[in-house]
Amino acid sequence: MSHAASLKVPDRAPRRIGVVATASRAKTRKVVISSLVRHPRYGKYVRHRSVLHVHDEGNESKLGDRVEIAECRPISRTKRWTLVRIVERAPEAAEIVYGEKAAGA
Tell me how many domains the chain contains: 1
pTM to 2 decimal places:
0.79
Instruction: Flag whether 100 is in a domain.
Output: no
Instruction: Flag whether 7 is in a domain.
Output: no
Instruction: Flag whether 2 is in a domain.
Output: no
Instruction: Flag whether 46 is in a domain.
Output: yes
Q: What is the extent of the structural domain holding 65?
A: 15-88
Cβ contacts of 51 within 8 Å, gap of 6 or more:
21, 30, 31, 32, 33
CATH code for position 42: 2.40.50.140
- pLDDT tens for 24-74 read 999 999 999 999 999 999 999 999 999 999 999 999 999 999 999 999 999
